[in-house]
Structure 1
Amino acid sequence: MLPVDNLFAQVGTTLGWLPHPVAGLLLIALAIGIALGLHWIAVRVVRRTMKRSQEYWRNILLRTRGPSRLAFLIIFIGAAVSAAPFRVSTKLVFTHILLVAFIGLLGWIAMRTLQIAADVYLRRFRLDVEDNLLARKHVTQIRILLRASTVLLFILTAAAILMTFQSVRQYGVSLLAAGGAAGIVVGLAAQPVLSNLLAGIQIAITQPIRLEDAVVVEGEWGWVEEITMTYVVVRLWDWRRLVLPIRYFIEKPFQNWTRQTGAIIGTVLLQLDYTAPVAAIREKAEEFAAASPLWDKQVINVQVSDAHSETIEVRILASASTSPRTWDLRCEIREKLIAWLQAEHPACLPRRRMEFSGQSGGDAESLPTVRVASAGQMAAE
């Protein structure tokens, strides 16, 4: 017999002069008080024992307060019920309650163990650095698998608890054996949940998206902020949140700008006159890119990408390490080139030309003829 059992047996003997139900309830109340008191003392000892430098591990250990408190209660209440002068039927009820609590405790411990193991594993990865591709890969994978494992453990724990009730167990066995229409209805009802669960597991394994990936979905550009088992939250560039079902990223196409690396090439388009000095623009674009801290020194290119009836299209390509930096670099190069063209080559900005022919006179036939032509037409003539 354990010391706890001896303690409550002696207390039960002392309370023998009371009616049996009252004495039993007093023993249970005493067990709850002792369990909560000892647990509080144990938590205080853990807090004072660990050093301040081990704050992370203190937080990890203190997250087990819930399961440890329940374990204390199960142990002391079980000892009290064994020593209490209850009837056999009453003891069976308390024993069944303790069994349900014990099964729940095992499931709770398993879930909390997985969470702590995931936290310890992810501690080596940081998302607040510029080159966080590997960290985003592992964080996304672990978080999705952790959610799937938690759901699975919850289902198994709930099933184990329900199987302790004879009526529910018989109903479950007959349902599994018979199947039929009820099984079809349950299967159809659970299909969206199961499909989302499978989609989440598939995303965790194949990883078409990861946390903080820059994506373009539904014509909107943003970053993947949260991935759950049923939906994905995309933080848009203007701080709006786009919520999409997780199956969207399995069934529909989308753009992922950081699938392999965060670097991306940005495009600047300028509509200019045919007289624009392309060689000088190329030199200035290279100069502005080299002077910018946003440029990653990988790509800078200037080309005439198209020619319209009135203007030519000059395309500047420049690369940066991340999509936000690329956007800022595009804006910077565009602004500086426009300011330089206005100051040094204002004539090469887009314009329309007018050609006057004929001589002025008094009658209508001698009025000058005005012809509007584009720069390309005039250059050809």
Structure 2
Amino acid sequence: MDSYLWTIIAALGAAAIALLVVEAVHRTVRRLGRRSILLSELSEHSHRPFQVATTVLAVQFGVRFSTEYGIGTAWRQTLLHFLVLTVIATTAWLVASLLVVSEDTALARFRIDVPDNRQARRIKTQIVMLRRVTIAVIVVLAIGVMLMTFPSVRGVGASVLASAGVIGVVAALAAQSVLGNVIAGLQLAFSDAVRLDDVVVVEGEWGRIEELTLSYVVVQIWDDRRLILPTSYFTTKPFQNWTRTQAAVLGTAEFEVDWSVPVQAMREELRRLVEGTELWDGRTCVLQVTDAVGGMVRLRALVSAADAPRLWDLRCQVREQLVGWLRDQRPTALPRLRAEVGHAEGTLPWQSVAPRGSVPGRPERPSADRRAGAHEPPDDARLFGGGDDGEARSHDFVGPDEPVDAPPR
């Protein structure tokens, strides 16, 4: 009975001393944390695991002290073994919390709620992936150390190591898809091919990277659906990344209209409406005739925006306003199939009218400006040229400079 009482007193005394020490350290760190992000994170996230680990360690020392100076019984040995296992588990918890604190402190230096956050998102992706890998390694090591405290496990250690090669081959064959996803996740984290919050197009769906793990990637689609893909998808199949270098993108709105459409007037209307909206970033505004066969003229309005959501709204607004402009201001340019019956001197606006002063049957002579080719398309009629952005785009697609052959001597 005395041995039981002595052990309980020693354990409670050690636990009380440990709790007092932990509380004093916690108050000191919290007071200093007002001026330090690291200490503030320590007091918030590592206080509980530090308290539990220190208390269990103190209780173990108290029980071991009572065993050395008292009568060693079997139940004390069992209790000490249990306390050793608890110390290993709580120490692993404490180390994991310290790693989380260090990673959160590193993440606090990089903000992702700013417009230019590509570098911050890349670093956040890498840190999050490293956090999950390190925590998984800590858990595996803690379980291994706990198992090695059992004599029976240590006895079979040699045979386990001898067959480790065969077991490794069998496990690799059985879990090759899982291992492939894990390796693909590490590759994505450090290859900078895709990051958190990147805007991508996968499987015909447009969305952003919401979560990136070692085994799967969650894509938040524009209509709030979630598309879950294995990480190996992004290393084995092509996909579109709209924000790998910058968020600004180009978009088109196409129209099929009649041949009588006034292209220059429509171009000026496009310029007027994009300049009147905050969705346009001021880089690109181009209207071009991309096709003119089959009785229709196809026009393509190319506009730019700071990011993909603004571009979507801008494209819809361009379509809506240009359709309204054609309907109200140029109804003769609306797409239609027509058949003209009779002579070509009718007064209706969609009928061919001979120019004034022309003689029927005699072809019209081109003017001096038309003969000289004096008509030069405006800047907003060219995609590759006409401005700084167009010239830069043209230079990107020129290719390498060809070497100039030396003149023969």
Q: Are the counterparts in 1 of residues 207 and 221 from structure 2 also a CA contact under 8 Å?
A: yes
The alpha-carbon deviation at position 74 of structure 1 amounts to 2.9
CA distance in 2, matches of 1:78, 1:71: 11
Which residue of 1 is the match for residue 162 of structure 2?
A: 177
Which residue of 2 is the match for residue 306 of structure 1?
A: 291
The alpha-carbon deviation at position 243 of structure 1 amounts to 0.9
Matches within 5 A, 1:346-357: 346-356=331-341
Which residue of 1 is the match for residue 305 of structure 2?
A: 320
CA distance in 2, matches of 1:334, 1:175: 70
The alpha-carbon deviation at position 158 of structure 1 amounts to 1.9
CA distance in 1, matches of 2:154, 2:148: 5
Q: TM-score, normalised by structure 2?
A: 0.76
Task: Name the SS of the counterpart of 1:129 in structure 2.
Answer: coil
Cα distance, 1:181–1:149 mapped onto 2, change above 3 Å? closer
The alpha-carbon deviation at position 227 of structure 1 amounts to 0.6
Cα distance, 1:173–1:249 mapped onto 2, change above 3 Å? farther
Which residue of 1 is the match for residue 62 of structure 2?
A: 80
Which residue of 1 is the match for residue 117 of structure 2?
A: 132
Which residue of 2 is the match for residue 186 of structure 1?
A: 171
Is 1:122 paired with 2:107? yes
Which of the residues 119, 127, 136 maps onto 1:142? Answer: 127
- Structure 2 gap segments, 5+ residues each: 344-349, 352-409
The alpha-carbon deviation at position 58 of structure 1 amounts to 2.7
Cα distance, 1:79–1:183 mapped onto 2, change above 3 Å? closer
The alpha-carbon deviation at position 279 of structure 1 amounts to 0.9
CA distance in 2, matches of 1:57, 1:312: 68
The 10-residue stretch of structure 1 (95-104 or 248-257) with the greater mean CA deviation from structure 2: 95-104
- Structure 1 gap segments, 5+ residues each: 1-17, 359-373, 376-381
Task: Name the SS of the counterpart of 1:233 in structure 2.
Answer: strand
The alpha-carbon deviation at position 25 of structure 1 amounts to 3.5
Query: Which has the larger share of helix?
Result: 1
Which residue of 2 is the match for residue 61 of structure 1?
A: 43
CA distance in 2, matches of 1:152, 1:180: 20
CA distance in 2, matches of 1:186, 1:25: 47
CA distance in 2, matches of 1:281, 1:191: 58
Is 1:237 paired with 2:237? no
The 10-residue stretch of structure 1 (299-308 or 251-260) with the greater mean CA deviation from structure 2: 299-308
Which of the residues 237, 243, 257 maps onto 1:272? Answer: 257
Q: Are the counterparts in 2 of residues 275 and 348 from structure 1 also a CA contact under 8 Å?
A: yes
Which residue of 2 is the match for residue 20 of structure 1?
A: 3
The 10-residue stretch of structure 1 (266-275 or 101-110) with the greater mean CA deviation from structure 2: 101-110
Q: TM-score, normalised by structure 1?
A: 0.81
CA distance in 2, matches of 1:182, 1:130: 50
Which residue of 2 is the match for residue 366 of structure 1?
A: none
Deviations 1:237-280 (A, max 9, x none): 00111111111111111111111111110111111111111111
The alpha-carbon deviation at position 26 of structure 1 amounts to 4.7
CA distance in 2, matches of 1:107, 1:117: 15
Amino acid at match of 2:111: R
CA distance in 1, matches of 2:21, 2:264: 82
Which residue of 1 is the match for residue 268 of structure 2?
A: 283
CA distance in 2, matches of 1:313, 1:306: 5
Amino acid at match of 2:232: R
CA distance in 2, matches of 1:79, 1:204: 43
Is 1:333 paired with 2:315? no
The alpha-carbon deviation at position 182 of structure 1 amounts to 4.4
Cα distance, 1:145–1:79 mapped onto 2, change above 3 Å? closer
The 10-residue stretch of structure 1 (346-355 or 296-305) with the greater mean CA deviation from structure 2: 346-355
Cα distance, 1:60–1:21 mapped onto 2, change above 3 Å? closer
Cα distance, 1:260–1:332 mapped onto 2, change above 3 Å? same
The alpha-carbon deviation at position 28 of structure 1 amounts to 2.7
Cα distance, 1:56–1:347 mapped onto 2, change above 3 Å? farther
Aligned residue pairs total 343
Which residue of 1 is the match for residue 388 of structure 2?
A: none
The alpha-carbon deviation at position 132 of structure 1 amounts to 1.3
The alpha-carbon deviation at position 94 of structure 1 amounts to 3.3
Which residue of 1 is the match for residue 237 of structure 2?
A: 252
CA distance in 2, matches of 1:183, 1:211: 33
Q: Are the counterparts in 2 of residues 148 and 201 from structure 1 also a CA contact under 8 Å?
A: no
Which residue of 1 is the match for residue 188 of structure 2?
A: 203
Which residue of 1 is the match for residue 79 of structure 2?
A: 94
Cα distance, 1:317–1:243 mapped onto 2, change above 3 Å? same
CA distance in 2, matches of 1:301, 1:293: 17
The alpha-carbon deviation at position 183 of structure 1 amounts to 4.4
Task: Name the SS of the counterpart of 1:353 in structure 2.
Answer: coil
Deviations 1:19-47 (A, max 9, x none): 42344245434544554465456545654
Task: Name the SS of the counterpart of 2:156 in structure 1.
Answer: helix
Percent of aligned pairs sharing the same letter:
38
